[in-house]
Amino acid sequence: MLVMRVAIYSNKPVSILSFKNYIENVTREMEKLGVEFIYINKKNDISTKADVDLYWYPFSTPPWSLVKVRKPLVISLLGDYGLDIPAWDFYGAGPLQSLVRRYVLKTRLLIKWSIFKRRSSAIITVSKYAKNTLVKHLKFNEKRVFVVYHGVDLNIFNPKGERVTLNRPYFLHVSQYVYPFHNMKNLRRIIAAYTRLDLDPKPYLVLVIPGYPKNIEIDGVILIRKRLDKEALAKLYRGALALVFPSLHETFGMPALEAIASGCPVIASNVTALPEVVGDAAIYVDPYSTKEIAAAMKMIAENEDLRRMLISKGLERARKFTWRKSAIMHKTIFEKILKES
């Protein structure tokens, strides 16, 4: 079997969990398909690696140093910069400050991508929603933008195995605190919906938010700030009444996929990429309505038949998302680019 040699330029550690999860899983599965990865971490090595077939930058916005690459270049853009939602929802600051941030960011992006749109052979996005946003706001050529969904590790995230049990049921929320973008996870409305929840006994609300900087002193709310491994997360998903995930913006929504794979119902927002990923395996709410979020939580807590139906649909839906399938699609795109170059 002919080995494909792919150079990955990485000049700093990966701190965003979703990026790390994507890169580790896709590279592992692609290596099984005969792809060899050569990791480059110095700018002066970029133009000297003549013995590779192509360059792949899987960390979203590429650095300027990649302009001098003289081989085909593929970029994985894991986000869409929140360009299709109001700036204040994305940044969580006041309207004027958010609009200024949006203007500065978009100006920089238009300059950078005016170069890299021509320089890159292909751009990989994680949802049709993300692709449409990039085509609309940054004028990407849609024929060179490929949608490849993430996968989920069904050996870890499945309904079998240990589950967390507390002295009463609990709802779950999972995200990572990344300043200044955490506002789009909608934590303020999740907590507001929980406080108005009329149930006796009232379930806990467990928040897993690594890096969250504030204390939350509300009766029944349990905040976990430390980073949990995948096995610990799977146990939490299995034991939860539901994952509460009404984000204002998602380009994919990995916690929702992990939840349904683990047999955990999902309360999701009806906007951006979540309906595309979770399909009919969730209760959808208007993320701006604390009333709808609270009503969905109450409905799931009181209706066991509904929970069973959502769990069944979720397990079926999750089987469509595997890292093997994602890796095959990546390799197919790489082969297409090499054939055309």
**Rounded-to-integer distance, Cα 278 and Cα 285, Å:** 13
3-state secondary structure the chain: CCCEEEEEECCCCCCCHHHHHHHHHHHHHHHHCCEEEEEECCHHHHHHCCCCCEEEECCCCCCHHHHHCCCCEEEECCCCCCCCCCHHHHHCCCHHHHHHHHHHHHHHHHHHHHHHHHHCCEEEECCHHHHHHHHHHHCCCHHHEEECCCCCCCCCCCCCCCCCCCCCCEEEEECCCCCCCHHHHCHHHHHHHHHCCCCCCCCEEEEECCCCCCCCCCCCEEEECCCCCHHHHHHHHHHCCCEEECCCCCCCCHHHHHHHHCCCCEEEECCCCHHHHHCCCCEEECCCCHHHHHHHHHHHHHCHHHHHHHHHHHHHHHCCCCHHHHHHHHHHHHHHHHHHC
pLDDT, position 321: 98
Mean pLDDT, each 10-residue run in order, the chain (341 residues): 82 76 95 93 66 92 88 94 93 92 94 94 97 96 97 97 96 92 93 96 97 94 96 98 97 97 98 97 98 98 97 98 98 95 83
Which structural domains are found in the chain, ordered by start?
4-149+322-340 (3.40.50.2000), 170-318 (3.40.50.2000)
pTM for this predicted structure:
0.94
Phi, psi of 10 (to 5 degrees): -140, 110
pLDDT, position 2: 64
What is the share, in percent, of the chain residues with pLDDT greater than 90?
85
What count of other Cβ atoms lies within 10 Å of the Cβ of residue 150? 21
pLDDT, position 48: 59
Contact 74, 54 (CB under 8 A): yes
